[in-house]
Structure formats: structure tokens, C-alpha cells
Structure 1
Amino acid sequence: MKQDVSEEMLIRYLLKEAVAEEEKAVKDWVQESEANARELEGMKMIFESGKQLAPVSPLKADAAWDKFKELRSAAQQNDKKLRSLYPAANWFRVAAAVTIFVGIGCLLFNILKNKADNPGNMVSIRTLKNVKVVTLPDGSIIHINKNSSITYASNFNSRRVITLSGEAFFKVKHNEDAPFTVITNDLTIKDVGTAFNVNGKNHRTEVIVESGIVQIGHSSASVRLNANEMVTIKAGERNMTVQRSTDILYNYYRTNQFVAFNTPLHRLVDVLNEAYDQKIIISNKLVINEPITVTINRDDSLARILNVIKGTTPALNIVKNGNGYSIQ
């Protein structure tokens, strides 16, 4: 489908912040007609003149952009009047245009610079009962688990910082010039070219690295995690101990499957409780570490899933208990 070219897209193109699809759309648009090419060239000229003459603007970005469009319209009307009054005086029209466009250039340059440098324009994405898959402007992909949210600045390509509440899986496009950073609770997680899961729910933060390397730190300590390593930090704790990641249950909301391979029963129960907002209690402490090997579809009901788990270990006795379940 052909993509519409807006003025905001042209701004991003001039600032070299447009994504690949937008760059292609602008180039195709320029090829469509000489008028389009002249319009883009005019914006470039205004931008360059303003860059030289106007280091400061008192207007905020949105108000300044409206003012720019108003002045540009006035300039076009003045040009039409000059054409009718002085059809032969091209030099006069040129001089007037230069005067008008230099003034407009000062304004437009500050608009563009404000849009590029101001991180105050924030993008927020929130989930409720469903998982969302989001592709960021840099091509990185985030799977956001239910009841979670991410926030980032609109100038994300130059400042790749994500604030996370809840849980998400990050598959990052590595860029040494713009490090990818996730902030959750009081932890800062920096990508060194990787895919990783972050869970900041239930008064603790868990980071599991699937591939690559991440750097995790807070005000008093930092650790580096490699593939198949993890750290879990409870609220208020400062120590971070690196451990091996022994299962892939964290992936359930991305793959839509619970995959357990010799996984302790308590670990599988913890994930099921979180996934289904249920309260499953292991009342028989003798089976708390019972190894479970099973693959379960997330779309199945919790009652069916528990029945499948019981089938793998007949010694388990699962009892419905009010709004929850008890494993005896």
C-alpha cells in the first residue's frame, strides 16, 4: 500500500530520523513530480538558513509548527501578489522571497531542533488482558505481557531508553552509537546485543538472557549476564547473584506454550499462577521439587492443564479449593 507523505514525515526525513519505510515513501514522492521535489528542496533551504541564523526560539514545538505554516501561507500569498503587480520584476520577487524565507527558516530550524532534542513527547503502550507485540522505530521487537506497559521518547532512534512496568521480552537491534536501555523498578538494564526477558512484577525483578549479553545495575552494584543466565532481585535487596536459567517457562506469553523439562513443580506452579491470575498451593511439601516434563498449550483451561500435570505424576492429588487449587 502506498504510504502518505505528511509534513511531519518530511521533517523526520530532513532530520535523518525517518525509518526505512518513510525514507522510501519520501523518495518515491519526490520522484512523482517536480512540484514535490521543489517543495522538499524549499524545506531544505529554509532549514539550512534557519540553522545558520536562529539558535534559540521562544516557541514550543507544536505552536512553532503552526506559526511556521501560517507564515509559509502568507509568503505564498505575497508571492502571488508580487507576480500580479510586478510580472517582470523577478529580482524583486526573489529579494522578497529571500527575506521572508530567512525569517521562516529561523523558525523552522528551531521547530526541527526542538522535535529532535526534546524527549518530552512520550509514547506509552499498555496491555490489559492480552499480549501485545510492538516493533519499535529502530526495528527492535517487544512482546509485552498482560497488565504491563512500556514508555519511550518519540525521538527513540537517537535515545533508545524504555521504561517498563510489568513484564516484556526484548529482541534488540544492536546499535553501538545508541545503546538500548530498559529501566524497571530501580534497575537499569543495558543491551550489549541480545534478546532477554524482564519481569518486574510481584515485588521483585527477574532478568533472563536468551542470547547475547546484558549489563544490569543500580546505584551500588552491577553484573553482566550472558546467554542462559538470570538474576532475581527482591524489592529492597541490593545484592545481585547470577544464576543459570534452567527452563524456558518465561517464554509462555510469547510462544503460547508452557514447556517444562525436569522442571521443579513449584516453578511451574509459580508461572501458572501468574499466567492465569490463580492461586495454586502446594500443600504437600514432599512434592514441591517433583520434576515435571510436559508441554501445555496456553489456550487450554487451567483445570485441563492441572489434569495433564497430574497425568505425568500420578502420585499428585489436585483438589479444587474455593477459587483456587491445592496440590496434595
Structure 2
Amino acid sequence: MTEKEFKTLLDKFLKGTITKEEEVLLNAFEEKAVNETKESVFNNDIEKRDIKKEILSGVKKQIKPNYYFKLAIAASITLLLGVSSFFFFNKEKDLEIFTVANTSNQIKTVYLEDGSKVVLNKNSSLRYINTFNNTRHLDLKGEAFFDVKRNEKKPFIIKTKGIKTKVLGTSFNILTNDSLVSVTVATGLVEVSNAKKAILLNPNQQVTYKNTSQTFISKNTSHQIFIAWFKDVNHLENVSMGDVASFIRHNYNTEVEFINTSLKIVPMSITINRNESLKSIIDKINYITDLKLTLKEDNMIEVK
């Protein structure tokens, strides 16, 4: 990307006329600029932070207070310091965006060039630039499970509807829809953030980000429940009835109502096959526990 191309994209971004494809290119290029030159440009991380604060006061009136703050601030840093000082201008080969869309009724597995694996759910898509040499950035729509190849020098970053999920090497599930983004960790440490807040998640922890209120809700949960959608057989060991209720909501789009909330903590171990009927699951739970589950006419399950 040339200096002129960079300035053009940044100008379009600040005016709100940038396209989705151009956003991906600008974000990837900005990250590369700051990461590759921070040692020669900044004396230390404190100086880098202070400069960002100074620039924020100058750009915050131009853009909405959402996840684009980071991009605008960092890009402005690039301009403040002089874009021509970055050695990669005119040397960087043209970046190309790849889009992988799963429009079928089957699960789709994608292997990235860094060795990471992505399992895409139905009606989901992934976009990323054509090289992971310096950054590992992706945009996700829908749902996907990520098994990320560890690289401490190149964080793996997924952007989804106003938040960023950042890891070095771990496995986790991300679900996005019009109202929320949900991240559930299977292994390793995951950072989920927006422009105002960052949350660290350990295995068997989940955070849900609500788009309208821009708030995070964290909880402990069995990750098995939220990665079951791409497995043929799910052995749910030592889970609670509350966990199984989440499994049913997530995979069968069916609400579960508890007559008494204390029933949510009833423990069990259960095996559920992909595409197994709700009736079969209900029969299993009624057999292996003292609970009584009933499927109502409105396709709601009552637990008592």
C-alpha cells in the first residue's frame, strides 16, 4: 500500500464513507505500521500510551464512540509521526481480501496458512487478508469455532460487531447475531474488548456483549455446551441442568422454563447425538435424573 492510498482510506474512514472491504485493509495496515515501527518510534509503552491519549482528544469529535476508536487513534498516530517514515510504504505488496462463506447446510472447516483451524457454522462467513506474515486479523459474521496456532509475536484477532477477540494460541467459540456477540473459551486465555473495556476469559468462561447497550455479561459455563454444534456426538460430562438448558436453547432454538430455579444445578452426564430429537433428549434426562421435563404445545420445555 502506498502513502497516498493509505491517506485516502483514512480520510474516507473519518468521513464515514469507507466500505467494509476498505476497513479490513486499513485496519490490517494500521496494525502492521504500529507493530513494526514501535521500537524505533516510541521510547517505551508509556510514551506510546501518552501519545494515544493526546491524539484521542483531537479525533474523538469526528467519529462515533464505538470499536473504531482504536483504529482512528492509531491511524492518527501514524499521520502525526509522518507516514513517510514507515519503511514499508511502497514496499508492501497489494493486500487482497479473502472471504470464506458457508451457505450450505453443512459444517465447513477452514485451515489458515498459519496452521489455525476454523469451523464455520451454517450461514456464517470469514474475511481476512491474503497474508499472515505480520498480522493475523479476521472479520467474522455468524458463528465459528477457532483452534488457533500459538504465536506469541503475532496475536490472532477476530472482529465482530463492535468488539475484538484477541488470543495468542487457544481454542474458543464465537457466536454473533443482530443483538449480541458471545465468546466461550475451551482452552487457553482470551481477551475480549471494546473501546472502553477489556475482559480476560479462562477455560469454561463466557462473555456476552449486547450491541445496543454496549455492555458485557460474564459467567462460568461448560464450554462443551457451546461447541456441540459441530460435533457428531457430544459427551457432556458433569454438567448441570442449567448447562443442558443452554445447550437446548443454542442448538434447538427452544426455551426451557424452570418451575424452581434450584433445579438448574441438578448434575448429570449425558450423551447427545447431532440432530437427535428433542423428545429423545427429554426422555434421557427424565430417565437418568429425578427431574420431570415436559415439551409443551408452544415448543417450550418445562422442568420440574
Q: Distance in 1 between matches of 2:152 and 2:94?
A: 20
In structure 2, what is the equivalent of residue 236 of structure 1? 212
Tell me the secondary structure at the aligned position of residue 224 of structure 1.
Answer: strand
In structure 1, what is the equivalent of residue 228 of structure 2? 252
| Larger strand proportion of the pair | 2
Matches within 5 A, 1:1-328: 116-119=93-96, 121-201=97-177, 203-240=179-216, 243-277=219-253, 279-282=254-257, 284-285=259-260, 287-323=263-299, 325-327=301-303
Opposite residue 270 of structure 1, the aligned amino acid is S
Cα pair 1:208 1:230 within 8 Å, conserved: yes
Q: Distance in 2 between matches of 1:202 and 1:294?
A: 32
Runs of at least 4 residues of structure 1 off by over 6 A? none
Q: Distance in 2 between matches of 1:177 and 1:317?
A: 50
Q: Distance in 2 between matches of 1:239 and 1:317?
A: 33
Cα pair 2:115 2:149 within 8 Å, conserved: yes
Cα pair 2:186 2:223 within 8 Å, conserved: no
With normalisation by structure 2, the TM-score equals 0.61
Provide the aligned C-alpha RMSD in A. 3.2
Opposite residue 100 of structure 2, the aligned amino acid is S
Structure 2, unpaired ranges of 5+: 6-89
Cα pair 1:124 1:149 within 8 Å, conserved: yes
With normalisation by structure 1, the TM-score equals 0.57
Post-superposition CA distance 1:197-218 (Å, at most 9, x none): 2222472222222222222211
Tell me the secondary structure at the aligned position of residue 309 of structure 1.
Answer: helix
Structure 1, unpaired ranges of 5+: 1-54, 58-111
Out of 298-307 and 232-241, give the one that drifted further: 232-241
Opposite residue 305 of structure 1, the aligned amino acid is I
Q: Distance in 2 between matches of 1:235 and 1:291?
A: 33
| Larger helix proportion of the pair | 1
Q: Distance in 2 between matches of 1:201 and 1:291?
A: 30
Q: Distance in 2 between matches of 1:139 and 1:234?
A: 31
Shift in CA distance, 158/125, structure 1 to aligned 2, threshold 3 Å? farther
Q: Distance in 2 between matches of 1:315 and 1:218?
A: 41
Cα pair 1:280 1:327 within 8 Å, conserved: no
1 or 2 for the larger relative contact order (CA 8 Å, sep ≥6)?
A: 2
Aligned length: 218
Shift in CA distance, 320/128, structure 1 to aligned 2, threshold 3 Å? farther
Shift in CA distance, 224/281, structure 1 to aligned 2, threshold 3 Å? closer
Cα pair 1:213 1:224 within 8 Å, conserved: yes
Q: Distance in 2 between matches of 1:259 and 1:177?
A: 35
Q: Distance in 2 between matches of 1:195 and 1:321?
A: 38
Post-superposition CA distance 1:124-182 (Å, at most 9, x none): 32244321111012211011123322111223444321111122111112234432110
